[in-house]
Every structure is written in C-alpha cells, then in structure tokens.
C-alpha cells in the first residue's frame, strides 16, 4: 500500500475555518477575469493541514469557481498511484496508541 501523507484530511476531508482575508504566506485567488468578476470571495483554511480554499461567489450567491492552495508537500508525487477510499478508511480504522 502506498504511503499516505496528510492522512486525516485525505480520509475525513478538510476541516475548514473561515478567514477574513487571503493569507499572506500562500498564493491568493487566481488573477483571471472570472475571479475579478466575483462579487465575493470566501477564504477558508484547513485547521489540520493548512490547505487554503478560495470560493468565488457571484452577486446572486452562486458559486463561480473554487481553487485550492496546498502546502508544498501535500500533493502526491507525479506518477504515484492514487490512494483509494478503502485504504484511507483502513488507515482510520487501525488501532493507534492502544485504542480499538
């Protein structure tokens, strides 16, 4: 089985919290016409792995687009097989520190 990194976010999905502004330590939203036309941009940050998600919203509340900014070592190397959902569930189910 492939080595799983950032296991909790891969298995459970990200635990986002809302931020007031784009972070200074990561790239912000893309500089494209679509993002410039957004009425609102929602800034989210994962509390576990520090992935940032930006969501562009139009004036009616519709989602135009979203983009993710991952930590440098979050993405798996090119050509490495994808970790299956079953592998992630098995990782979660395995006992740790004496737990069952």
Mean pLDDT, the chain, rounded, equals 85
Q: What is the pLDDT of residues 54-78, one digit of tens each?
A: 999 999 999 999 999 998 888 888 8
Q: In degrees rounded to 5, what are phi and psi of residue 27? A: -60, 145
**CA-based end-to-end distance of the chain:** 22
- Parent domain of 47: 15-77
Q: 50 in a domain, yes or no? A: yes
Enumerate the β-bridge partners of residue 67: 54
Q: 8 in a domain, yes or no? A: no
Q: Which residue has the higher pLDDT, 43 or 92?
A: 43
User: Which has the closest alpha carbon to 10: 96, 78, 97, 71?
Assistant: 71
Confidence tier at 1 by pLDDT (50, 70, 90): very low
Full-model pTM? 0.77
Confidence at residue 51, expressed as pLDDT on a 0 to 100 scale? 92
Q: What is the DSSP string of 31-72?
A: -SHHHHH-SEEEEEEETTT--EEEEEE-TTS-EEEEEEE--T
Number of structural domains (the chain) is 1
């Amino acid at each position: 089985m492939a080595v799983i990194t950032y296991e909790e976010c891969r298995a459970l999905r990200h635990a986002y919290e809302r931020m007031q502004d784009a972070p200074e330590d990561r790239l912000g939203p893309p500089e494209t016409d679509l993002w410039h036309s957004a009425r609102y941009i929602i800034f989210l940050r994962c509390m576990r792995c520090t992935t940032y998600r930006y969501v562009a919203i139009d004036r009616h509340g519709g989602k135009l687009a979203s983009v993710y900014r991952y930590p440098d070592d979050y993405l798996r190397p090119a050509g490495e097989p994808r970790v299956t959902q079953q592998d992630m569930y098995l990782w979660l189910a395995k006992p740790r520190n004496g737990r069952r």
